[in-house]
Chain A
Amino acid sequence: MRKITNNIILVIILSAFQISCSDLLDVDPTSVITTDSFWASEGDAEGALAGMYVDLRDVARFNLFILGEARADVVTLGTVGDGGYAKYYNNTVNPADAGPSWSSFYTLINSANLIIKYVPDINFASEDRKSDILAQAYAMRAYTYFVMTRTWGALPLRTEPTEGFGAETTQKPRSPMSEVFELIKNDIEQALQLFPDEDYGPYRAFWSKPAVQALKGNVYLWTGKQEGGGDSDIQTALAALNEIKNSDVQLLNNYEDVFDYSNKGNDEILMAVRLAEFETGGSYFQNMYIINSAIPSNITPETRQKIGPVGPGNNIMVPTSYLKSLYEENDVRKEETFYEIYTKNEDGNPTVYYTTIVVKEDGLITGGDRQFIDDIILYRYADVLLMIAEAKNALGQDPAAEINQVRMRAFGDDFSGNEFVAGSKEENNEFILEERLRELAFEGKRWWDLLRFGKAIELVPALQDKENPEHLLLWPISNSVLSLEPTVEQNPGYQN
C-alpha cells in the first residue's frame, strides 16, 4: 500500500512539473531586445537609425582616413615609431597585412539594409519622418559602397540584411564596379526623392538632401572621370553640386571656426560624423598629435603652451615636407593645419626643428586633459565649391570663381596678388588638385582626389619606386577575409 501511495505522489509531482515546465523555460529577456520583438514601432526605427550612425562613427574614427588619405603624399613617419601606419604611406599593403578589413563597412551596410527592409512596414505618426529615415538609410548605403568600391573595386553586393547563416546567402562573389555604381546611383536617387525637405539634420550630423547632393556630385565626378561616364556624368555632378547653393550653407569667414570644437555643426558643414564626449573615444587626429614622453624639455614656454595637454595623443604620423611646402606664409590655413615644434639651440633660441603636429582638429580640453573628439567632416561647402570648379574645368568652363571664393577666405586682406587666374585645362586641373589639398588636408580626401585626377602614380613618391604600381591603386583583400569568403577573388597583382 505504501508503495502505491509513493507512486501516486510521484505521478502528481511529475505531472505538476510537466504542466509548468514549458512555461518555466519561456524566459523573457529583460535587458536585450530579441529579433522577434524588434521592428514593431517608430521608436525601434529611431533606435536603429542611431545605431546605423554608431556604425558609421566606428568606421569614421580611423578607417575613413586610412582609406582616404594615409596612402597619399601627406603623412610620413613620426617620432615614436610608425604604429603600423608605415605600410600605408610607403604603399606596401599586401594580403598578409592589408589594413582595414571591409567587415566594419559591411556592418554599416547591414544596418542600412535592415532599415530599408523593415521600416516601410512600420506605422509612423508622421509619414515625413518615415521617409526621412529611409532616405538616410539609402544615403548611407550609397556612401558606404562608394568608399568601398574606390578601395577594393568589385564588391559582394548586399542589398538584404544578413539574417541567417546558410552558405547560399552568406557566400557572395564580387560584382563588377559597374554594378556597384549602378546601385550607388539608384540609392542616391531614392534618397533624394524620399527626403521630405531641404533641411539639414540635427548638428548637421545626419544625412540630408543637400549632403546627398554633395555625395551625388562626388560620385558622378568619379564615374565621369574614372568609369567612362564622360561629360554627361560631369554635367550631372555639376547640377547636383549647384543645387546645394540653395540650401542653408555658406563659407564661414574664419577658416579656423570651421574646425572649432565649440562651433560644431556650423553653416559650412553639410555632413559630419559626430563625436561627442561620453559617446566615443578619439579619432585619427590623435595619432598626428604628440605623446607626453615625446615632448622635448628644451622648448619655449610658448611652444609648451601651444601643445597643451595631449590626452591620448601620439606622434605616429607627421605631415610630409611636400604638404608643408604647399602653403604660402600668409595663407591662414597653414597655421590652422599644422604646427612645427622647434627645440632651443645653444643660445636658447628655438631654431632646431624637432617634429610637426597636426592642429586642425585638436579636440576638446576638458578636466585638464585633451580628447580628440572634433566631428569628422564628410562634406563641407569649401569641398563642394572646389568640386564645382573641377566639374566646370572638365567641361571647359572657367573654374576661377569658385576657386577664388575659397582662396579669398584663405588669404583675407592679402588676397590681391593671390588670385587664381585660369590657364589651360591641364594647368587648372593641377591647381585645383593642389588647392584641394591645401584646403582639405587631413580630412580624408587626398588619396581619392589623386585617384580621381589620375595623378596618384605621378605624385606619390612611394608609388613611383614600385614596379608596375598600377595594381596598387586598389587595395589588397586580406588573407583572413579570403579564407572566410571562398567565392571572393583577390585583386589582380597581389600575391596571395
Chain B
Amino acid sequence: MYNITNSSYNFQPSFLNGVSNLVDSRRASASEYKWRQSQVDAVLSYSKSILNAHHFDAKAGFSYFGRTESRLSATGQGASTDLIPTLNASAEPVDISSSVTDQVILGYFSRINYNFDYKYLLSFNMRYDGASNLGKQYRWGFFPGVSLGWNLHHEDFWAVLPENLLNLKLRGSYGVNGNIGNLGDFSAQGAYGVGAKYAGLAAIQNSIIRNPELQWEESKTLNFGADIGLWNRRVNVMVDVFRRVTDNLITSLSLPPSTGFGSILTNLGSLENKGIELELNAAILPPNSDFQWNIAFNSSKVSNKILELPDNGTENNRIGGYYVWDPAINDYNWLGGLQEGGSLGEYYEYRQLGIYATDEEAASAPLDRIARVGDKKHGGDVIWDDLDGNGEIDSRDRVYVGTEFPTWTGGLTNTWSYKGLSLLLRMDYTTGHTIYNYARAFMNGQWKLNMNLTQEMVDNAWQEQGDQTYMPRYTWESQRGAYNIFPTRTGQQYYESGDYLSVRELTVSYELPESVLNMLKINSIRFNVTGNNLHYFTKYKGLNPEFGGRDYGRYPIPKNIIFGLNISF
C-alpha cells in the first residue's frame, strides 16, 4: 500500500495595478490530490538438486498492481475581505472540478533455472500480464524468454591452463518483454472530455479517438555476451552485443490536421535498437598490497532504426519530416520525420555561413523568403546557405544538423585506498546527442522585449560596418525583420553538440584505525567529504548537457558537497 495526499490552497489578496487601479477579485483556490496504490506479490519458490549434478530451482508468482488517483479543486473569487484566504469567503465560484481515475495491472510469472554441474546453465522465464488500459481484446500478453550459459572454466579441458588464470563464461539469451509506457488510463477506449462550458451549458467534446486494438508493446531482445575473469578475477570484463526489435511501439501517431485531431495513440510499426555494451573492472595492484587502486569502466553504444511504419501511401510510409534539398539525389526530397529505414529524432535547420560585414556585401544577398523583409539585407544580417542554389533562401534550404539521441554513454570510476584513507572519483560521459538550445536563441534573438541577452552576444554581436563576427546584429525590429535568429529559423549554431564528461562524484573518506578506536571504546568512526556533480567538460553553452532535445532553459543538476561523520558504538 502506498498513499500520497497533497492538499494546498492559494489566495490572491487585492492589489494595486498601477496607481489608481485596485484589482480586488481576490481569487482563492484549494485543491486536494490523492494517489492510492495497492500492490500484492505472491511468490512460491522451490529448489532441488539430484545426484549433486542436476540443480533445479523454480519460482512462480502472481502480482497485482492497482492505482487510484483522485483530484478535487475549486476556485472562487469576489471575497469582500483580504482577511480570509480560504474559499469560504468567496462570493462566486469560478471553477470547480473533481476527478477519479483507475488503473489495474495483473501478472503471472514463473522462472525455471537448471544447471548441470555448474557448467551448462539453462533458464526459462515467462510472464503473462494484463493491463486495464489496453484494448479489450488485447489486454493480456505472453512474454517468454530463454537464456543459456556455458562456464568454460568448469570444463575438464580447462585444466590445461594455470588455475585461476582465466575464467570464461559465454552467454546467450532471447526474450520478449511487454511494455505499456505512460499510456493514459482510458486512451484505448477513446474519450469524450468534459469541463468546458458554452453559454452556461456543459460541453462534451471528443478529445481522444478510440483505438480498441491498442495492445502490448513487445520488445524482442537477442543478446550474446561473455564474462571474462583474469588472474583470479582481478580483472573482469563483460561484453554484450544486442539487437532489440520493438514491435507495436505504443506511440502517438500524428494525424493529418484535416482529421480534426492532432494524434492518436497506436501501436506504430517497429523499431530496431542495436548496440554493444562493455564493462571492465580491474584491481590494478595485487590484493596483498596496502595501497589499492580499482578501476571500473563501462561503455555502451546504441543506434536506432525504424523498420516498419503503418501504411499511409507515401514513400517509406513517412510521417512528418522536411521537404528539403537532398544532395544525395541532387533533387528535393522528404527527409527526417519518421520514415522506414530512418532514425528517430533528427533535426533539420538552415545553415548559417557567416555574417555580412558591410551593407555592400549584403547587397548581393539572395532573396530571403523566410524573413519578413526578404529583399533587403544589411551588414550584420546572417548569410544563409542557399543549399539548392536557386538564388533564394526558402524552407527547402535546410540540412541535417544532428540527432536527439546519443551514440555512446558510459562511465569511469577510480577508487584509491591506503589503509583507512580512500578516494573515489566517478565520472560519466555521453556523446553524439544534439541539443536545440532554445533558451539561448530566445535571448539572443530577443523573442520577448524584456529579455536579457547572453554575454556571448554582448561580446560578439555585429555592431558596425566591417565587423567580422559570427553573431548577427542585436536590435529588436531589424532582428525580426531579417529573422536572423527567429523561432522559425535560428541557424545550426543553436543546435549544439551535447557531448560531455562529468565529474559526478569525488569522495575522500578516512576511517580511524582500530588502535585508536579501542582506546575510545567505539566500534568505528568514519569521516567523509563528497562532492557531487562538480564539473562538466563540455562545449555546450546551456546549463545542462545531459540529454538531447529542446532546451527551454533546463535546471542544472545541483552541485553539492556533503560532509559526513559516521560513528557506531
- Which residues between 211 and 249 of chain B lie within 8 Å of chain A, taking CB atoms? 211
Report whether A110 and B194 are in contact in the complex, using a CB–CB cutoff of 8 Å. Answer: no
* B-contact 0/1 string along A18-36, CB 8 Å cutoff: 0001101111011111111
B132 at the A/B interface (Cβ < 8 Å)?
A: yes
Report whether B99 and A30 are in contact in the complex, using a CB–CB cutoff of 8 Å. Answer: yes
Report whether B106 and A21 are in contact in the complex, using a CB–CB cutoff of 8 Å. Answer: yes
* A-contact 0/1 string along B300-335, CB 8 Å cutoff: 000000000011111000111111000000001010
Report whether B99 and A31 are in contact in the complex, using a CB–CB cutoff of 8 Å. Answer: yes
B95 at the A/B interface (Cβ < 8 Å)?
A: yes
Question: Beyond A33-B191, A95-B395, A96-B395, is A87–B372 a contact (Cβ under 8 Å)?
Answer: yes
Report whether B476 and A81 are in contact in the complex, using a CB–CB cutoff of 8 Å. Answer: yes
B478 at the A/B interface (Cβ < 8 Å)?
A: no
B512 at the A/B interface (Cβ < 8 Å)?
A: no
Question: Beyond A54-B198, A103-B262, is A171–B257 a contact (Cβ under 8 Å)?
Answer: no
Report whether A34 and B196 are in contact in the complex, using a CB–CB cutoff of 8 Å. Answer: no
- Which residues between 341 and 392 of chain A lie within 8 Å of chain B, taking CB atoms? 366-369
B78 at the A/B interface (Cβ < 8 Å)?
A: yes
User: Which residues of A sit under 8 angstroms from B98, Cβ to Cβ?
Assistant: 31
B204 at the A/B interface (Cβ < 8 Å)?
A: yes
- Which residues between 321 and 380 of chain B lie within 8 Å of chain A, taking CB atoms? 321-323, 332, 334, 337, 369-370, 372, 374
User: Which residues of B sit under 8 angstroms from A103, Cβ to Cβ?
Assistant: 257-258, 260, 262
CA distance A53 to B260 in the complex (A): 15
* B-contact 0/1 string along A473-489, CB 8 Å cutoff: 00000011111111110
B261 at the A/B interface (Cβ < 8 Å)?
A: yes
User: Which residues of B sit under 8 angstroms from A203, Cβ to Cβ?
Assistant: 199
Question: From residue B276, how far is it (CB to closest CB) to chain A in Å?
Answer: 34
Report whether B396 and A156 are in contact in the complex, using a CB–CB cutoff of 8 Å. Answer: no
Of the listed residues B77, B259, B476, B488, the one surrounded by the most CB atoms of chain A closer than 10 A to its CB is B259
| Residue in A closest to B14 when the chains form the complex, CB atoms | A368
Question: Beyond A50-B197, A51-B205, A484-B257, is A32–B311 a contact (Cβ under 8 Å)?
Answer: no
User: Which residues of A sit under 8 angstroms from B314, Cβ to Cβ?
Assistant: 486
Residue of B17, B204, B477 near A51 (CB, 8 A) is B204
Residue of B18, B99, B255 near A165 (CB, 8 A) is B255
Residue of A57, A111, A274, A278 near B94 (CB, 8 A) is A278
Report whether A34 and B189 are in contact in the complex, using a CB–CB cutoff of 8 Å. Answer: yes
Residue of B23, B261, B264, B396 near A367 (CB, 8 A) is B23
B185 at the A/B interface (Cβ < 8 Å)?
A: yes
Report whether A27 and B104 are in contact in the complex, using a CB–CB cutoff of 8 Å. Answer: yes
Of the listed residues B20, B133, B260, B332, the one surrounded by the most CB atoms of chain A closer than 10 A to its CB is B260
CA distance A128 to B18 in the complex (A): 53
User: Which residues of A sit under 8 angstroms from B95, Cβ to Cβ?
Assistant: 278
- Which residues between 408 and 462 of chain B lie within 8 Å of chain A, taking CB atoms? 449
Question: From residue B449, how far is it (CB to closest CB) to chain A in Å?
Answer: 6
Question: From residue B348, how far is it (CB to closest CB) to chain A in Å?
Answer: 11
Report whether A25 and B139 are in contact in the complex, using a CB–CB cutoff of 8 Å. Answer: yes
B24 at the A/B interface (Cβ < 8 Å)?
A: yes
User: Which residues of A sit under 8 angstroms from B476, Cβ to Cβ?
Assistant: 81
Question: From residue A220, how far is it (CB to closest CB) to chain B in Å?
Answer: 26
Report whether A106 and B253 are in contact in the complex, using a CB–CB cutoff of 8 Å. Answer: no
B278 at the A/B interface (Cβ < 8 Å)?
A: no
Report whether B261 and A162 are in contact in the complex, using a CB–CB cutoff of 8 Å. Answer: yes
Report whether A53 and B44 are in contact in the complex, using a CB–CB cutoff of 8 Å. Answer: no
The stretch of A41-49, A254-262, A397-405, A433-441 that contacts the partner chain: A41-49
| Total chain A interface residues with beta-carbon distance under 8 A | 94
A228 at the A/B interface (Cβ < 8 Å)?
A: no
Question: Beyond A158-B259, A483-B322, is A495–B203 a contact (Cβ under 8 Å)?
Answer: no
Residue of B17, B191, B332, B370 near A496 (CB, 8 A) is B332
* A-contact 0/1 string along B56-74, CB 8 Å cutoff: 0000101010100000000
Report whether B258 and A369 are in contact in the complex, using a CB–CB cutoff of 8 Å. Answer: no
Question: Beyond A369-B23, A486-B318, is A53–B266 a contact (Cβ under 8 Å)?
Answer: no
| Residue in B closest to A167 when the chains form the complex, CB atoms | B312
Residue of B20, B192, B193, B260 near A110 (CB, 8 A) is B260
A413 at the A/B interface (Cβ < 8 Å)?
A: no
B42 at the A/B interface (Cβ < 8 Å)?
A: yes
Residue of A55, A97, A292, A496 near B396 (CB, 8 A) is A496
- Which residues between 76 and 107 of chain B lie within 8 Å of chain A, taking CB atoms? 77-78, 94-95, 98-104, 106
A425 at the A/B interface (Cβ < 8 Å)?
A: no
Question: From residue A355, how far is it (CB to closest CB) to chain B in Å?
Answer: 16
B256 at the A/B interface (Cβ < 8 Å)?
A: yes
Report whether B259 and A10 are in contact in the complex, using a CB–CB cutoff of 8 Å. Answer: no
| Residue in B closest to A490 when the chains form the complex, CB atoms | B323
A426 at the A/B interface (Cβ < 8 Å)?
A: no
Question: From residue B112, how far is it (CB to closest CB) to chain A in Å?
Answer: 15
Report whether B198 and A24 are in contact in the complex, using a CB–CB cutoff of 8 Å. Answer: no
Question: From residue A117, how far is it (CB to closest CB) to chain B in Å?
Answer: 11
B108 at the A/B interface (Cβ < 8 Å)?
A: yes
Question: Beyond A35-B189, A163-B209, is A50–B100 a contact (Cβ under 8 Å)?
Answer: no
User: Which residues of A sit under 8 angstroms from B201, Cβ to Cβ?
Assistant: 46-47, 49-50
Report whether B196 and A162 are in contact in the complex, using a CB–CB cutoff of 8 Å. Answer: no
CA distance A400 to B21 in the complex (A): 47
Residue of A17, A54, A80 near B203 (CB, 8 A) is A54
CA distance A100 to B201 in the complex (A): 27
User: Which residues of A sit under 8 angstroms from B209, Cβ to Cβ?
Assistant: 35, 162-165
CA distance A57 to B392 in the complex (A): 39
Report whether B369 and A94 are in contact in the complex, using a CB–CB cutoff of 8 Å. Answer: yes
Report whether B255 and A53 are in contact in the complex, using a CB–CB cutoff of 8 Å. Answer: no
B202 at the A/B interface (Cβ < 8 Å)?
A: yes
Report whether A496 and B130 are in contact in the complex, using a CB–CB cutoff of 8 Å. Answer: no
B186 at the A/B interface (Cβ < 8 Å)?
A: yes
User: Which residues of A sit under 8 angstroms from B322, Cβ to Cβ?
Assistant: 479, 483
CA distance A485 to B489 in the complex (A): 23
B394 at the A/B interface (Cβ < 8 Å)?
A: yes
B200 at the A/B interface (Cβ < 8 Å)?
A: yes
Report whether A486 and B370 are in contact in the complex, using a CB–CB cutoff of 8 Å. Answer: no
Question: From residue A272, how far is it (CB to closest CB) to chain B in Å?
Answer: 10
Report whether A90 and B104 are in contact in the complex, using a CB–CB cutoff of 8 Å. Answer: no
Report whether B189 and A486 are in contact in the complex, using a CB–CB cutoff of 8 Å. Answer: no
Of the listed residues A50, A167, A482, A485, the one surrounded by the most CB atoms of chain B closer than 10 A to its CB is A50
B519 at the A/B interface (Cβ < 8 Å)?
A: no
Report whether A484 and B256 are in contact in the complex, using a CB–CB cutoff of 8 Å. Answer: yes
Report whether B189 and A13 are in contact in the complex, using a CB–CB cutoff of 8 Å. Answer: no
Question: From residue A289, how far is it (CB to closest CB) to chain B in Å?
Answer: 14
Report whether B370 and A34 are in contact in the complex, using a CB–CB cutoff of 8 Å. Answer: no
Residue of B189, B206, B311, B480 near A111 (CB, 8 A) is B206
Report whether B42 and A13 are in contact in the complex, using a CB–CB cutoff of 8 Å. Answer: yes
Question: Beyond A24-B106, A278-B95, is A479–B323 a contact (Cβ under 8 Å)?
Answer: yes
CA distance A448 to B64 in the complex (A): 61
Report whether A25 and B204 are in contact in the complex, using a CB–CB cutoff of 8 Å. Answer: no
User: Which residues of A sit under 8 angstroms from B382, Cβ to Cβ?
Assistant: none
A114 at the A/B interface (Cβ < 8 Å)?
A: yes
| Residue in A closest to B26 when the chains form the complex, CB atoms | A367
Question: Beyond A27-B102, A274-B199, is A484–B319 a contact (Cβ under 8 Å)?
Answer: yes
Report whether A34 and B100 are in contact in the complex, using a CB–CB cutoff of 8 Å. Answer: no
| Residue in B closest to A366 when the chains form the complex, CB atoms | B25
* B-contact 0/1 string along A274-294, CB 8 Å cutoff: 101011000000000000100
| Residue in B closest to A368 when the chains form the complex, CB atoms | B23
B254 at the A/B interface (Cβ < 8 Å)?
A: yes
Give 7 A-B pairs besides A36-B210, A107-B260, A495-B395 with Cβ atoms closer than 8 angstroms. A32-B193, A34-B192, A50-B197, A53-B198, A111-B205, A172-B256, A486-B312
A-B contact pairs, 11 of them (CB 8 A): A24-B64, A27-B102, A36-B190, A51-B204, A97-B488, A165-B209, A206-B199, A308-B21, A367-B24, A369-B23, A486-B318
**Interface set of A (CB-CB < 8 Å, partner B):** 6, 10, 13-14, 17, 21-22, 24-27, 29-36, 38, 44, 46-51, 53-55, 57, 80-82, 86-87, 90, 92, 94-97, 101-103, 106-111, 114, 155-156, 158, 161-167, 170-172, 202-203, 205-206, 274, 276, 278-279, 292, 295, 304, 308-309, 366-369, 479-488, 495-496
The 4 A-B pairs at the shortest CB distance, nearest first, are namely A367-B25, A47-B204, A110-B260, A35-B190
